A and B are shown apart, each in its own frame.
Chain A
Amino acid sequence: MTAVIDKPVRTPGRWASPPRPVWEEEPTSAGLAGKGIALSFACLAILFPLWIVLVTSLSSRKTIDEAGGLVMVPKGITFIAYRELLSGGQVTRAAVISVLITLVGTLFSMGVSVLCAYGLSRSGSVGHRWILMVLLATMFFSAGLIPTYLLVQSLGLMDSYLALILPSAISVFNILVLRGFFMGISQELVDSARIDGAGDFRILWQIVMPLSRAVLAVITLFYAVGYWSAWFNASLYLNDQDMMPLQNVMIQLVQKQEAPVGLGQAIKTGQLSGLAVQMAVMVMALLPVAVLSPFVQKHFKKGMLTGAVKG
């Protein structure tokens, strides 16, 4: 871990540090070690539990019993837990429901939010200050759980998937981020399109949105994660066990240590450990998020800061 300062490195590897300014001291080895340990500890604190969950979900009953519970070192990888879970039954249905809610909900949220953000982004348009006030005010209060519950019930949304989408469909914060970004797009570009005869919908679709891919990706991820992770609305508004999304099924499996319906047989015959099943459901819940978020990661900072503080 020694950085060459005086002689420039010919072809800096991907892990090499950029050249250090001349006034900066060489890092001490104690400092480097300390930093390395602290950073490794922070990352391991996050990765280690996930590793255990993953490895246990891939282990056979024998391996799990030998380890006395959770497995830390993989041995004899088997996909039996996943095969059982995905071969129909409660978890398969819940996963499909979750995927559909996430897709439909995210599409709906993005549509409404992008339209609203663009509608508010053209400075000087009539009424946009008032509309902005109406939206912003909701960041200061919440109507409360009970009145919202009564409203959803009165609208006839109980036991309907609409109850999982509509009440929390848009986030004002996300709209503000989008609006901030849209406002940063050069006015000349928009004007020239308008002169060429494009209407607002066309400008949004063909000019503003293609220029905002980064922030659109971030906000889409935010909404999608919101829908994918949601469980409370389902527990509040759905009574039918067969309608429950994945997170709610996971609560039952992990917290109450139950076996999913239809899997009891495989567990009884001894091939499959109930623990592996629980872990496999957890992996199914975290996988989409863990796979998608790193791709959007480099835009987080921009997305979080543009517009968010502009009001």
Chain B
Amino acid sequence: MSHSTVPRSRAEADETGKTPVTLGGAGGPQGKRSSGKLGLRVRLRRDRVLLLMTLPAIVLILLFNYVPILGNVVAFQDYDPYISDNGIVAIFHSPWVGLENFQRLFEDSAFWEAVRNTLVLFFLQLVLYFPIPIMLALLINSVVRPRIRAVSQAILYLPHFFSWVLVIAVFQQLFGGAGILSQLLRQHGYDGIDIMTDPETFKFLITAQSVWKDAGWGIIVFLAALASVNPDLYEAAAMDGANRWRRMWHVTLPALRPVIALLLVLRVGDALTVGFEQILLQRDAVGPGASEVLDTFVWWNGVRNQDFGYAAAAGLIKGVISLGLVLVANKVAHLMGEQGVYQK
């Protein structure tokens, strides 16, 4: 395990008191005693262990995140997986059909229904889900006893770590045809109800499940924002005669505003992704008419019906629009002076 004694930056050089060595590699002007001007070959040699460390992750990312992008060409093919026993080799033997798959999509009412369901679910989640973590965070933040805080936080975080299979199973036991709610209704002489299979209320069911699972987890970021508020502000406000509601309005909420705005923007950027696993698990129970979203549409047509080119076309449309939305959302976040997902 060899290591280098060449400092990686001027700061490092200053701190260690080492003299940056300039070996005059490619691009490194002689005599300049700044490690930033070290030749590439020298720097590669110096950092080779660090580069080696990142290698496994890079290989995985390239293989499973970048290579499949090329596979999207099947969207422009009449892809036949049975031409070869290898999916990639089959791509080279499948006939090109241009935009035929996309044309079929635009004429397919099931596709437009999936688009509509996706957007409706997104707006429902935005309106019914988004405010809940904020309110919970304000509530938790107003609790001063440390023990109550810790215990309730532990409970609220818990469902985030459950699988969707488990969450849906729990809902099934509460609201399904044989669940507690139906049981109680029958005991009191009413008809049992089965919320889990009702297409009318499906979108609300999905939203309720998301709230149950993740609203508690969502408070973390708001709690952090609240914890960073300077307590002097509260004291000053109190001195000026603000009661607790005025203090919440004029100190607490303004402190949350940047976080709320940022999360809202990022959520909008992610609008076309609405609970794939969660919906897929319940697709059979309520039928595709009410439950099909873009992700499940791709799954159904591709994996189930083996219509790979068609499904890939739908996936590609979703991917491209999503990428655009995320980029716009980040741009907006930057314009608001926030960091977004990446820094400028």
Contacts and interface: CB of A to CB of B under 8 A. Distances in A.
Contact of B174 (A49, A250, A309): A49
B336 interface: no
Nearest to B91: A150
B210 to A, nearest CB: 14
Given A140-B326, A143-B65, 9 more contacts: A15-B147, A23-B239, A116-B54, A119-B54, A123-B9, A126-B46, A134-B62, A136-B341, A250-B166
Contacts of B243: 25
Interface stretch (B111-119, B120-128, B156-164): B156-164
Contacts of B56: 111-112, 115-116
Nearest to B42: A126
B157 A300 contact: yes
A151 B68 contact: yes
Contact of A148 (B68, B147, B169): B68
Contacts, number: 329
4 closest A-B pairs by beta carbon, nearest first, are A147-B71, A229-B163, A143-B68, A119-B53
B70 to A, nearest CB: 7
B142 interface: yes
A100 B296 CA distance: 29
B311 interface: yes
Contacts of B8: 122-125
A232 B148 CA distance: 37
Interface in A205-263: 221, 225, 228-232, 236, 247, 250-251, 254-255
Nearest to B273: A142
A305 interface: yes
Given A25-B243, A305-B221, A147 B74 contact: yes
B17 to A, nearest CB: 10
B244 interface: yes
Interface of B: 1-3, 5, 8-9, 11-12, 15-16, 35-36, 40, 43-44, 46-47, 49-54, 56-58, 60-72, 74, 81, 86-89, 91, 136, 139-140, 142-148, 150, 152-159, 161-166, 168-174, 178-180, 183, 186-187, 212, 216, 220-221, 223-224, 227, 231, 234-235, 238-239, 243-244, 276-277, 280-281, 284-285, 295, 298-299, 302-303, 308, 311-312, 315-316, 318-319, 322-323, 326-327, 339, 341-343
A23 B235 contact: yes
Given A35-B139, A151-B88, A201-B1, A45 B212 contact: yes
Chain A contact residues, majority secondary structure = helix
Most B CB contacts (10 A, CB to CB) among A46, A148, A232, A285 go to A46
Interface residues of A, number: 112
27 contacts: A17-B145, A43-B152, A45-B212, A46-B216, A56-B173, A115-B57, A123-B8, A123-B9, A123-B11, A134-B61, A134-B62, A138-B66, A143-B67, A144-B318, A146-B303, A147-B68, A150-B68, A150-B88, A151-B88, A202-B1, A229-B161, A231-B164, A255-B172, A255-B285, A278-B169, A285-B165, A285-B166
Interface stretch (A74-82, A88-96, A264-272, A288-296): A288-296
Contacts of A62: none
Contacts of B5: 194
A138 B235 CA distance: 45
Given A146-B311, A169-B60, A282 B74 contact: no
B267 to A, nearest CB: 15
Contacts of B44: 126
A20 B144 contact: yes
Interface in A272-310: 278-279, 282, 285-286, 289-290, 293-294, 297-298, 300-301, 304-305, 309-310
A127 B51 contact: yes
A201 to B, nearest CB: 6
A69 interface: yes
B120 to A, nearest CB: 22
Given A140-B327, A147-B74, A301-B223, A154 B88 contact: yes
Given A144-B72, A146-B308, A53 B170 contact: yes
Nearest to A118: B53
A139 to B, nearest CB: 6
A297 B216 CA distance: 13
Given A134-B58, A140-B326, A191-B12, A21 B235 contact: yes
Nearest to B247: A24
A97 interface: no
A24 B251 CA distance: 14
Given A15-B145, A138-B65, A145-B295, A124 B70 contact: no
A107 interface: no
A149 B54 contact: no
